[in-house]
A and B are shown apart, each in its own frame.
Chain A
Amino acid sequence: MFTKSMISRRSLLAAGAAALALPAGMSSLTRPAAAALVVDVTKGQVAPMPIALPSFIGADATTAELGANITGVVASDLQNSGLFAPLPQESYIEKITNFGQPPRFADWRTIQAQALVTGQIVAQGDGRVRAEFRLWDIFAQAQVIGLQFTTTPKNFRRMGHMIADAIYKALTGEDGYFDTRVVFISEEGPKDKRVKKLSIMDQDGFNVRMLTDGADLVLTPRFSPTSQEITYMSFAGGNPRVYLFNIETGQKEIVGVFPNMTFSPRFSPDGEQVIMSLQNGGNANIYTLDMRSKATRQLTTTAAIDTAPSYSPDGARICFESDRGGGQQIYVMNSDGSGQQRISSGEGRYSTPVWSPRGDHIAFTKFTAGAFSIGVIKPDGSGERILTSGFHNEGPTWAPNGRVLMFFRESPGENGGPQLYSVDLTGYNERLIKTPGFASDPAWSPLLKQG
């Protein structure tokens, strides 16, 4: 499962190492100042951390197998993040047999592991199992964290994702994103007669489920903040409208009562508003619908196409695209519609802006010189960066930690179709998310609620 050899070290940066001899005399040194050597290290390696993940142990064959499966999920998550390099299990010297014993650190140092995860699965007798694990810092010879989770065995993938999230956070200082789901559109059939189904899967492409049957054309699903509802566009009954889908009950309903087509919906961060475009003749403007009072509010009033609205994480601002200036560009406004201001300025057409869950970036699709790119820009319009570019990349969505983006990429040709990819905010670590068929319009969930 994770026998891949360690990712080769990417020495992103050179160790050019501006070494400066600072004037000695740091007060915190107890030695006579002149004796202390002061060295500055200003560059390092951007290399995935080698981590050892021996299979979680179990008292019997069943728990041992479950342990191996969970460990496989953890290893796969960490590897896919690009920040960790799980070491092949064959190389392990120490065989973990007792969860209660500290590991032999020297054994793990020998194989270059910097971190080690030990764990065990315990059957609880009520049909559920408990997974306990400890994360060790091999060089500091210390336990970093130790946690336990309880669930039914069939939930083992989620358990693995939660453990991977805990490890990710402990070692990077940032929230993980593995215990998450993605809603997307499954696509089947020829290009001119595509059947599209609302679908959901785990972040890593497992547990794909279709939520609609393909009878109606469905587009652009987005999660509610609780991950319990999805807002999306459906052509049901020949009336294209924004809908709400309840994941628990399977119920669908139209969002609001509008005279014309509504599309491009998205939830506000508090889940109380759905923001969307309403088509009126040749123009599209942005509206919000309050989910409780059902009150609508028009935020833009241009004779243009204003669409793809997305809230900032604090709910105070909204980014959207508009062709009011002639071509599609990204704009930002306050959540009451005031202060509309264009932020993109480069050549080409900018579209599908999505505000990062951290608030520091807005991701977008850009079309220029015949190529579609995924990029990010700061909310003030500075710092535009292109992360990936090609024939057709579209529709970025953020992982809840704001570090990874998912988008879809169309392959050319009559038999081509869209697939989902992820890429780091740095532009590195681009990965295909395998799905059963073609897939488009991904939207990442928040971290799932535990319990």
Chain B
Amino acid sequence: MLRRFADWKLAVALMGFLALAGCTKKNTPNLDGSAGQAAPGSVGDFQTNVGDRIYFLVDQSTLTEEGQQTLTRQAAWLQQYPNVTVQIEGHADERGTREYNIALSARRATVTREFLTAQGIEAARVTTIAYGKERPVALCDAESCWAQNRRSVTVVTGGATGG
């Protein structure tokens, strides 16, 4: 619905005030059928039951409340499966310039990693990489898509069960 607003800045402001209603709801774990069926400790388990990604406001790298909840679950899961290692991918939407977005996405990945380590996850288990705007997941030219691309994704790189 936000995409209706022609004025970008207004949309951005509203995004803030609405505290991530709407689009960012996609943040919650995917419950479409496969939920709960993934083997505990597997990548699928992490993605569907824990939630592998969090979203950011425009040009921001501060964690939203919802993002913190997701990361808290991630931290708990990582505590539960201590052999798992992860890489945090930082991403930015397409509405920025290439170089800045690389740094912005690095900042997002860093914030994400710092939250996890603050929850007691060993720093050595968490690496980061910054993709800037190079790997969007949603392709429309509207805030509804851009909001999904401003994200950090925790990717399991090793130690998970069941592949």
Interface residues, chain A, with chain B CB atoms under 8 Å away? 190-192, 194, 196, 217, 219-220, 233, 235, 238, 240, 261, 263-264, 277, 279, 281-284, 305, 307-308, 321, 323, 327-328, 349, 351-352, 365, 367, 369-370, 391-392, 394-395, 410, 412-414, 416, 441
Contacts and interface: CB of A to CB of B under 8 A. Distances in A.
A349 B135 CA distance: 22
A281 B104 CA distance: 11
A283 B102 CA distance: 11
Nearest to A260: B106
A180 B103 CA distance: 31
A388 to B, nearest CB: 15
Given A219-B134, A351-B97, A395-B97, A263 B139 contact: no
B130 A279 contact: yes
Nearest to B96: A367
20 contacts: A194-B134, A219-B98, A220-B99, A233-B102, A261-B106, A261-B130, A263-B103, A264-B99, A277-B103, A279-B130, A282-B61, A307-B100, A308-B99, A351-B97, A369-B9, A392-B95, A413-B141, A414-B139, A414-B140, A441-B98
A321 B100 contact: yes
B129 interface: yes
Nearest to A326: B59
B139 A191 contact: yes
A394 B106 contact: no
Contact of A410 (B8, B94, B111): B94
Interface string B103-115: 1101100110000
A36 B9 CA distance: 64
Nearest to A306: B103
Nearest to A304: B103
Given A192-B136, A305-B100, A370-B7, A392 B106 contact: no
B124 to A, nearest CB: 15
A238 B61 CA distance: 22
A308 B94 CA distance: 17
Nearest to A190: B139
Nearest to A323: B100
B137 interface: yes
Contact of B99 (A349, A352, A370, A412): A352
A165 B56 CA distance: 50
Given A264-B102, A367-B96, A281 B110 contact: yes
A370 B94 CA distance: 12
A412 B7 contact: no
A279 B103 contact: yes
B54 to A, nearest CB: 15
Q: Which of B7, B95, B97, B106 has the most CB of A within 10 A?
A: B97
B130 to A, nearest CB: 6
Contact of A217 (B100, B111, B134, B141): B134
Given A282-B110, A413-B141, A277 B98 contact: no
A229 B101 CA distance: 26
Given A240-B129, A261-B106, A279-B130, A192 B99 contact: no
B129 A284 contact: no
Given A282-B106, A282-B111, A392 B99 contact: no
A410 B139 CA distance: 13
Contacts of A441: 98
Interface in B79-138: 94-100, 102-104, 106-107, 110-111, 129-130, 132, 134-137
Given A367-B95, A394-B97, A410-B94, A284 B139 contact: no
B139 A305 contact: no
Given A305-B104, A414-B139, 4 more contacts: A328-B97, A351-B97, A365-B97, A369-B8
Contacts of A392: 94-95
Contacts of B106: 261, 279, 282, 284
B103 A307 contact: yes
A369 to B, nearest CB: 7
Contacts of B94: 392, 410
